[in-house]
Amino acid sequence: MQVKDEILKILPKPTSQIKLAHIITASKVQKDTSYVDKDVESMRGLGLSVANVDLEGKKEKDLRDILQPFDVIYVQGGNTFYLLKWVKESGFDAVLEELIGRGKIYIGVSAGSIIAGPDIEIAGWKGLDPDPNEVGLEDFSGLSCVPFCIFPHYKPEHASFLKEEIAKYSYPVRILNDKQAFLVRDSEVALVGGGEEIRF
């Protein structure tokens, strides 16, 4: 079953009634943002109401007011370091914790999945098309929504490098290819999408 189908199964009401906040911050520093438009088109094709939200320049109170009406918080991919900078400076981390506590759904894609773990250093691993830390971020602590770090976009050519990096990393790492996702409910974590989980 595709990841999309798994997401549709957990929505609290019909797609035509779902409001989705699309956090675009990470994508703003990317040269090619065509993937953002494709995602929005796909989501609207399912009947979802989608609104783009940028964390940059926002304050915690602003975000609390802006995000309150939404059922789903969808954090788009892009530069993980730039994203985490604004997650913390805007107070989005505190607001998101409140929203999840009230039963809102968090979906993180690429950078949006990496920040869900306890640490984002993995985004800058050299040799694997790393995100540049152009904002000079020094605190790499993530949201800790899950107790492991996520390595997305896995391809077989990453295997040898990943084995070396994971062996010396301070946190457990779980790996996803582009057809997989982790579905988290309370402390339960399930792999959804195609194929077996990649482990080293």
Domains (range + CATH), the chain = 3-193 (3.40.50.880)
Q: What per-residue confidence (pLDDT) applies to 128? A: 75
Three-state SS at 98? helix
Residues annotated catalytic, as ranges: 110, 153
Residues in contact with 10: Cβ distance below 8 Å, sequence separation at least 6, in sequence order: 105, 183
Can you tell me the distance from the alpha carbon of 134 to that of 137, in angstroms, rounded to the nearest whole number? 8
Instruction: Please give the average per-residue pLDDT across 62-79, as a whole number.
Output: 98
Mean pLDDT score, 22-30: 97
Q: How confident is the model at residue 2 (pLDDT cuts 50, 70, 90)?
A: confident
Asked if 111 and 131 count as a contact pair (C-beta separation under 8 A), the reply is yes
Amino acid identity, residue 137?
A: L
Cα distance between residue 82 and residue 105, in whole Å: 23
Q: What is the pTM of this model?
A: 0.95
Q: State yes or no: pLDDT of 20 exceeds 80.
A: yes
Q: Residue 84's pLDDT band (boundaries 50, 70, 90)?
A: very high
- Which residues are within 8 A (CB) of 77 and not within 5 positions of it... i.e. 6 or more apart? 26, 27, 35, 109, 110, 111, 112
pLDDT (tens digit, 9 = 90+) per residue, 51-69? 999 999 999 999 999 999 9
Given a contact cutoff of 8 angstroms between Cβ atoms, the answer to whether 192 and 180 are in contact is yes
Residue 72: which H helix or E strand, with range?
Answer: strand 72-75
DSSP H/E element including 163: helix 159-168
Question: In a 3-state reduction of DSSP, which class is residue 154?
Answer: coil
Query: What is the average pLDDT value for the chain, to the nearest integer?
Result: 95
Q: Is the pLDDT of residue 1 over 70?
A: no
Q: Which pLDDT score is estimated for 146? A: 96
**Per-residue tokens: 87:** 């997650």
Q: What is the pLDDT of residues 168-200, one digit of tens each?
A: 999 999 999 999 999 999 889 999 998 899 998
In sequence order, which residues have a C-beta less than 8 Å from that of residue 177 and are 6 or more positions away? 153, 154, 155, 194, 195, 198
104 beta partners:
none
Helix orientation angle between 80-90 and 92-101, rounded to the nearest 10 degrees = 80
